[in-house]
């Protein structure tokens, strides 16, 4: 686990973008690649980092950075669009959503936000 956390710590993908962590660094033009971030992959990353805290002290710093960026981007988009949530976000900017046609909150994101509100 420590190798994974050290890898994340050294990557611009973790700290280099104001709107979150991209799902991949490949800029292929596909919706699942850079610069997009998705709720399920972000939730998996946060859950993994949360579990890694007992083994690696840096995991919590990375976890909190990811959570802050995701919540900031999600909240600002929600506020600026009168309550609309999107299925993915552009991590290179905050409040710039990727899709014109909106998608309401995925059940995964709702569960993740509920979990965060009880833990932090």
Give the pLDDT confidence score for residue 106 in this predicted structure: 46
Cα-Cα-Cα-Cα torsion 14, 117, 119, 3, nearest 10 degrees, comes to -10
Residues paired with 97 in a beta bridge: 89
What does each C-alpha distance from 106 to 21, 37, 84, 111, 113 come to in angstroms? Answer: 18, 13, 12, 9, 11
Give the pLDDT confidence score for residue 116 in this predicted structure: 67
**pLDDT tens, N- to C-terminus, the chain (120 residues):** 778 887 877 776 566 888 888 888 899 989 889 999 998 999 999 999 998 888 888 888 888 888 888 888 888 888 888 888 888 888 888 865 544 333 444 455 666 666 666 665
């Amino acid at each position: 686990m420590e190798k994974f956390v050290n890898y994340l710590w050294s990557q611009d993908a973790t700290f280099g973008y104001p709107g979150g962590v991209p799902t991949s660094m490949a800029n292929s033009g596909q919706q699942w690649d850079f610069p997009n971030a998705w709720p399920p992959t972000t939730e998996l990353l946060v859950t993994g980092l949360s579990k890694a805290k007992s083994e690696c002290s840096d995991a919590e710093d990375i976890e909190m950075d990811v959570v802050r960026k995701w919540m900031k981007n999600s909240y600002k988009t929600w506020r600026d669009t009168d309550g609309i949530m999107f299925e993915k976000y552009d991590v290179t900017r905050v409040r710039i959503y990727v899709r014109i046609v909106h998608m309401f909150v995925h059940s995964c994101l709702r569960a993740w936000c509920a979990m965060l509100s009880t833990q932090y």
